[in-house]
Amino acid sequence: MTDSLHTVRNRAIEIERLLDNLGAEGRGLGEKYRSLTLPQPLQDDLRQLNHLRNTVMHDGVDLTGADLERFVRLSDRVTAELQQMPAASARPSAGPGLSGSSQVPTSSQEDRTMGMLAWGLGFFFPILGPLILMVAHKSPYVQAVSKEVLNVHVSLIAYTLLTLGLLSPLTAIADIVFTVLGVMAANNGEIYRAPAVFRLIK
């Protein structure tokens, strides 16, 4: 592996990771940055980076010293801007069925995985599951998802008790639906906001 290939590959992977954290879609650097609404100067920098990346990764052409220096300079600037960018300012609109989702910045793919786990644990262990994640993970995103899961299940239990079990079939169905939508939202780095929920835990 040449020096330029090593440098370009590693820096491109890091930029793609940052774009993923902002909710980017697609497989490569070009598809990812084009799937987001980004400031024009940042798009221009990413376009140049993508061109240089493709020259090395796809065409097999080694960069000259000047082009490699330009790639490093551009990648440093892009990385710094993406790290400071709030996710909600770049994320594409929520997909079908996720209109009740609120967008919260995520710091890593692990946050999304933990968000999905929070909904899954909440389904089987309505109170204990999200509480464990709230204690174990200090990520703002995981904390926010866990609180929403906890609020959902406290509300469902309250509805069941207040109606002396008459709403049990409906709350059971709602539990399944909310969990599925919550997992889908977490997979996209979002937080599903279920309707008719008492948000006692802020």
Please state whether 70 falls in left (phi above 0), alpha (psi between -120 and 50) or beta: alpha
Reported as a single tens digit per residue, the pLDDT across 163-195 is 999 999 999 999 999 999 999 988 877 888 898
Kindly list the domain boundaries of the chain, sorted by start residue. 3-89, 101-192
* Mean pLDDT on 26-33: 84
Q: Assess whether pLDDT exceeds 90 at residue 200.
A: no
In this predicted structure, what is the pLDDT of residue 91? 54
User: Considering the chain, what percentage of its residues have pLDDT values greater than 90?
Assistant: 47
CA distances from residue 155 to 30, 162, 165, 179, 201 in whole angstroms, order as listed: 44, 10, 13, 14, 11
Tell me the backbone φ, ψ of residue 101, rounded to 5 degrees.
-95, 140
In this predicted structure, what is the pLDDT of residue 95? 42
Give the number of other Cβ atoms within 10 Å of residue 37's Cβ: 11
Reported as a single tens digit per residue, the pLDDT across 35-66 is 888 888 898 899 899 888 888 887 778 888 88
Residue 171 and residue 160 in contact, taking contact as beta carbons nearer than 8 Å: yes
Q: How confident is the model at residue 89 (pLDDT cuts 50, 70, 90)?
A: low
Q: Assess whether pLDDT exceeds 50 at residue 98.
A: no
The residue ranges of DSSP E strands in the chain, in sequence order, are 101-103, 190-192
Q: Assess whether pLDDT exceeds 80 at residue 68.
A: yes
Alpha-carbon distance of 37 to 29, in angstroms, equals: 14
Q: Assess whether pLDDT exceeds 80 at residue 94.
A: no
In this predicted structure, what is the pLDDT of residue 87? 66
End-to-end CA distance of the chain: 51
Supply the mean pLDDT for the chain: 85
Q: Assess whether pLDDT exceeds 50 at residue 1.
A: no
